[in-house]
Amino acid sequence: MAKTPEIGISVKKDDDFSEWFTQLMQKAALADVRYNVKGFPVYRPWAVKSMRKMCRLMEQLLEATGHEPLLMPLLIPESNFHKEADHVEGFTPEVFWVTERGDGITFEERYALRPTSETALYDMYSKWIRSYKDLPLKLYQQVSVYRHDTKMTRPFLRTREIHWIEAHDVFATAEEALEQVKEDMETTRKMIYDILAMPHIFFRRPQWDKFPGAVDTYAADVLMPSGKVLQLPSTHFIGQEFAKVFGVKFTDKDEKEKHGWITCYGPAHSRNYGALIAFHGDDKGLKIPWDVAAQHAVIVPIIFDDSKEAVLKKCNELNKKLVDSGYESTVDDRNYLNAGWKFNQWEMKGVPIRIEVGPKDLEKGEIVLFRRDIDEKKAVKETDLLKEIETIKRTFTKNMRDKADVLIKDNIVDCSSLDEVKKALESGKMVRTCMRSIEKDGEVDAAMIEKEFSAEVRGEWAFKNEKVFCDCVISGKPAKHVVYIAKSY
């Protein structure tokens, strides 16, 4: 008989996050890095099911705010790409170029594998927009983008193929465009906090860390339990520069020709999933919020030879009841694995509810429910099954949010000196402090923070206008900005 594979993770998340994450990828069957192109992991069914749910939910949120879907070609002509200087400088080192066809004939012009779609979309927008009546134009697409990131890759968190949604919007005024930025932030809150149960802060990024070609970048940072941050969706106030170089113009009510004001927004469901498992996962494995769980419930029969038929019959009856009620459920009737191993595996995979059914439960008319959000089990009457699961469904993600709020509650500390900054970062905290500038002239100060502390200036809390409480922590000069500093994954 084949040896039963080991299911548990052999290291603790807090002791060795990197090894914990690697083992989780393997043992929960989420991703495989053995595909023979570096930086392009294979995502396996259990992860893909959740990622698809996240994608569908994000599409619903976008369409509820007036966005409509489209699909653009993968290839972008190099001539498009070179129209906006800052964009070219920011993205060219990471671009994959297509240069020839199968018979070796070289193309007259190189084509970029889409690293992001501004230079493709805005060329089309210039053909579609003619009048103020065509605005606002709010479109999105669900695609992959390709960036030859030179840093160490890791499934979900940093890869060279990013599965995401990108929305690109055009408005008649700067004020409308900034309102769209705020709307993108609210969309992010609904997805990242309400659905995925991850607290975050939206920062206006420093000018040296903004999206290439944008006026301003606003990015959601999730503060992980370790004290490090992970950037999730970002939204960009593009302004008019792209509109000018691509000719995105409209005739206004005053019959004057004007350039549009553009925003773009890029939530990556592959990265969101990576953040989700890194934030909520524990030493047993995954914990996944209800709405994006790959599967809601698994029924595990507790089998003895003399009761096998009756137990399996009851398990299948219960499973049908769950499926008919709209839940994604299955019976784990693999007879070559014992119940304890199955319990551990389903906890590893983060299934929200495990239902145990054995001969004694049949006698009592009961079943045992285990819920992964709080890692507790209880016996309930079989007749109360659907009512109990409805209660779990209603409270499952809220419990995860409440726990997440407590985890990061005390992880941000105010610092007025570099010594305080150093101590806070070393103890796994995010730092709130003050700087003289987050414009280009502040980049030297930020470089010192990165060199000395291996941390980054994440920016200022977007649209919050926090009061300066000390001099610039780096230069000692009068400060103008309250900023946040953290280490990142």
Same domain (yes/no): 131, 266:
yes
Domain-located, residue 333: yes
Tokens of 270: 């592959």
**C-alpha to C-alpha distance for 412 and 382, rounded to whole angstroms:** 46
Shared domain for 201 and 326, answered yes or no, is no
Regarding whether 236 and 204 lie in a shared domain, the answer is: yes
pLDDT tens-digit series, residues 195-206: 999 999 999 999
Residue 167's domain comprises 17-280
Question: Residue 429: in which H helix or E strand, if any?
Answer: none
- Domain shared by 23 and 154, yes or no: yes
Q: Give mean pLDDT, residues 177-183.
A: 98
Do 167 and 62 touch, CB atoms closer than 8 A?
Answer: yes
Query: Is 60 exceeded by the pLDDT of residue 4?
Result: no
For the cut 80, the answer to whether the pLDDT of residue 132 exceeds it is yes
pLDDT at 82: 85
Give which of 370, 377, 348 is closest to 284, Cα–Cα.
348
Q: DSSP letters along 438-466, please?
A: SSGGGHHHHHHHHHHHS-EEEEEETTT-P
How many Cβ atoms are within 10 Å of 35's Cβ, its own excluded? 11
Looking at the fold, whether 299 and 236 belong to one and the same domain comes out as: no
Assign residue 331 the CATH number of its domain.
Answer: 3.40.50.800
**Residue 402 C-beta-side C-alpha neighbours within 13 Å:** 7
Whether 265 and 303 share a structural domain: no
3-state secondary structure of 275: helix
Same domain, 219 and 308: no
The 10 Å Cβ neighbour count of residue 372 is 25
- Per residue in 414-445, pLDDT tens? 999 999 999 999 999 999 999 999 998 999 99
Q: Is residue 131 part of a domain?
A: yes
Is it the case that residue 90 has pLDDT exceeding 90? no
List the strands of the sheet with 329-331, edge to edge: 329-331, 297-301, 353-357, 366-371, 376-381
Examine the fold and report which residue of 247, 280, 313 is the final residue of a domain before the chain moves on: 280
Averaged pLDDT, 23-50: 96
CATH number at residue 446: 3.30.110.30
- Domain-located, residue 288: no
Domain co-membership, 302 together with 345: yes
What pLDDT does 23 receive? 96
Q: What is the mean pLDDT of residues 4-27?
A: 88
Whether 182 and 311 share a structural domain: no
CA atoms of 384 and 388, how far apart (whole Å): 6
Instruction: Specify if 418 maps to a domain.
Output: yes
Phi, psi of 93 (to 5 degrees): -60, -20
The span from the CA of 246 to the CA of 260, in Å, is 11
Q: Is there a single domain that holds both residue 93 and residue 221?
A: yes
297 three-class SS: strand
Of 280, 310, 339, the domain-final residue: 280
Residue 5 confidence (pLDDT) = 58
Domain-embedded: residue 38: yes
The yes-or-no verdict on residue 1 having pLDDT over 50 is no
The pLDDT tens digits for 57-81 are: 999 999 999 999 999 999 999 999 8
pLDDT tens track for 370-404: 999 999 999 999 999 999 999 999 999 999 999 99
d(CA 203, CA 233): 11
How many structural domains are present in the chain? 3
Beta bridge partners of 30: none
Read off the CATH number of the domain in which 122 is found. Answer: 3.30.930.10
Last residue of a domain, one of 394, 421, 436: 394
Angle made by CA atoms 85, 178, 129, in degrees to the nearest 5: 65
Q: How far is CA 328 from the centre of its chain?
A: 23
